Chains A and B, each alone.
Chain A
Amino acid sequence: MRQRSLTAVVLAAVLAASTGCTVERHWGGNTNTGGSGKAKVGLVTKTDTNPYFVELRNAARAAAQANGADFSALAGQFDGDNDGQVRAIENLRQQGANTILITPSSSTGVLKAIKDARDAGVLVIALDTATEPADAVDATFATDNFAAGEGQGAYVKAALKGVPPKLLMVDGTAGSTVDTQRHGGFLKGIGLTDSSPEIKGHTAANGDQSLAQQGMENLLQRSTDINAVYSMNEPMGRGAYAALNARGLTGQIVMGSIDGGCEGVQNVKNGQFAATVMQFPKKMAEQGVLAAVEYAKTGKKPSGFVNTGSAVITDKPLPGVESHDSAWGLQNCWGGKK
């Protein structure tokens, strides 16, 4: 008896939830068209704790407030949480968002949810990371990661002053879009290819400082006769630096990184990194919100890839490489400013 009443309660709850869902979705779909006046902007980031995405979210919220748009932010639970992002997109549609700004966890993992949203008339703009294919979204506002890598490579090449590079590479997650673009850009910038003998070794450290340190220690055991280090982001750069420092090699090496977090700029100022390449999450967010406002007013959608730029930060500027110093970097960095 007790069992049966429990089943009934569960069934009723499921029914209520599912019908509620249908009604809300239907309603959401109807209000989702552009040109209807007020912008309702939903933001989906990869996580909500990483300072990079915190900066992006805060900038988007501020821009929405300044332009009289509704704003709501959701996130995946961890980098790579496609399922969490799909749920976030569904929730935003239920809330009636007419523009969704998303930093996709993977370039392909959320394509179906994005297509459903666009079919219902929602403007979808990818921020920070492009989708594959790129036209799965209406437009992409992001760092050109290949160009960012190229900037790092060009700086390292200039700093070597004609000496042939002997390079160790610290990559991120093997096969990820950003990783591949930065890696390829760096090699182009320094004038090498993946099969060049100047590359003395590489390790993939998945963004983890301690793994980068271990990988670098093991690579250095093979040979300490190196003069250049590529690191795919700043935490891994710090891990690599710890390994180089323990061997007393930091003086002979030009190390570059990418990100532009305030801590990374501080590492440039302290001399740990010769240079880092800064990205501008704030610009991505602001331009995304402005596009949403425009869409709500006029129904006009942006399209294509909009590069929000990157800048080489170094205190040792070199001819031929456009750069800013760490003082400028500390004013423009993202994350906790010290």
Chain B
Amino acid sequence: MTTATAAPARERESLGEFLLRAPAVGPALALIVAIVVFSVATDTFFDLDNLSTVVQQSLVVGTLALGQTLVILIAGIDLSNAASMVVATLIMAKLAAAGTNGFVALLAGVVLTIIVGIFIGGLATRIKLPAFIITLGTFTMLTAVSKLIAGGQAVPVTDGLLQWLGTKRYLFGGIPITYGMTLALLMYLGVWYALTKTAWGKHVYAVGNAPESARLSGIKVNRTVLSVYIVAGLTFGIAAWQALGRTPNADPNQFQLGNLDSITAVVLGGTSLFGGRGSVLGTLMGALVVAVLRSGLTQMNVDGNYQDLATGALLIAAVVVDRIARRQQQS
């Protein structure tokens, strides 16, 4: 009897409800459509090497976006993530250039991004400042720090461990896979597991949905918020390692818009900017969609300004879909 009543209800589920239940479906569809269109429109896009390159191009923003997803899930935002990452790349590269062991240099960079996370989380929980303001200030400070450390100049990276994520690769079914891609996949799986299968993950969603109700139901809201910024800080440190695997120099002028790129990936992935709803799977799709667009449009010889136009339009479309889905759910 119960199954009989449940089945028709399921059939009547509106598109909006379906998207709310599975926010990664929209971006996954967009990704598939884009890949099909570019594969038909050019004879160079659908190529195993190119698909591998596109994934490698989205690694840094994708890793930044993983941490950003967690922050946005608790209805926060991190404008300083890319700046924190750039400082970490400079610290790693400078230490290695000065003869420090590569592992120690790597650790120093990651520790820095975690400290930044503790700083932001501390201010957000103790003084109750809006994340937008804290991270805006942190962004400004970190940008200055990166230029001070580098003196405006790039630092060449020669240490094997620091480049390891980009230089080491193996073939999987004919597709070249770098260790960086493998690590990113493992990180996404790890965060997906933590969000969906652990109490911590449920707390994150609850805090993002309604912090007061979460507090009343016994969740330690402050502790959850702080833990999110710390985990996010860790992912930004690993993003720095990914960046050194990709580009041969730590350059203070790189990833100037990395913070916004990571937010774009999160929103394209169907995570709500109001918190409490979204998934890291969607973010992965979101990061890939942007890289696919860039690669495909460049190969179609489309001017860079039109590429930005397309990305922006897609972003707004994603937010519109989110809104419509919510409205349908409410009515």
Contacts and interface: CB of A to CB of B under 8 A. Distances in A.
Interface of A: 49-52, 54, 174, 201, 203-204, 206-210, 213-215, 217-219, 221-223, 235, 238-239, 242, 261, 263, 335-336
Given A174-B304, A201-B301, A209-B253, A50 B248 contact: no
B213 interface: no
B45 interface: yes
A221 B44 contact: yes
Contacts of A335: 151-153
B299 interface: yes
B151 A208 contact: no
**Top 5 nearest A-B pairs by Cβ distance?**
A218-B298, A49-B147, A204-B304, A51-B152, A50-B152
- The main secondary structure of chain A at its interface with chain B is helix
B255 A210 contact: yes
A221 B45 CA distance: 7
Contacts of A215: 298, 304
Interface string B160-177: 000000000000000000
Contacts of B151: 49, 51, 54, 335-336
A235 B154 contact: yes
B195 to A, nearest CB: 29
A107 B201 CA distance: 52
Nearest to A171: B304
A221 B81 CA distance: 30
Nearest to A49: B147
Contact of B153 (A203, A206, A208, A263): A263
A311 B175 CA distance: 45
A210 B295 contact: no
A235 B251 contact: yes
B87 to A, nearest CB: 14
B118 interface: no
Contacts of B299: 218-219, 221-222
A219 B252 CA distance: 25
B148 A49 contact: yes
Given A50-B152, A210-B254, A238 B57 contact: no
A219 B248 CA distance: 19
A336 B252 CA distance: 15
Interface in B227-272: 243, 246-249, 251-256
Nearest to B252: A49
A217 B253 CA distance: 20
B253 A208 contact: yes
Contact of B57 (A50, A207, A217, A235): A217
Given A213-B246, A214-B294, A218-B295, A208 B152 contact: no
Given A238-B248, A263-B154, A221 B253 contact: no
Interface string B104-147: 00000000000000000000000000000000000000001001
Contacts of A235: 154, 249, 251, 253
B39 to A, nearest CB: 12
B311 interface: no
Q: Which of B144, B256, B305 has most chain A Cβ within 10 Å? A: B256
Contacts of A336: 151, 153
Interface string B41-76: 010110100100100010010000000000000000
Nearest to B148: A49
A208 B256 contact: yes
Interface in B278-299: 294-295, 298-299
Contacts of B60: 210
Contact of B247 (A203, A213, A223, A263): A213
Q: Which of B246, B254, B298, B304 has most chain A Cβ within 10 Å? A: B298
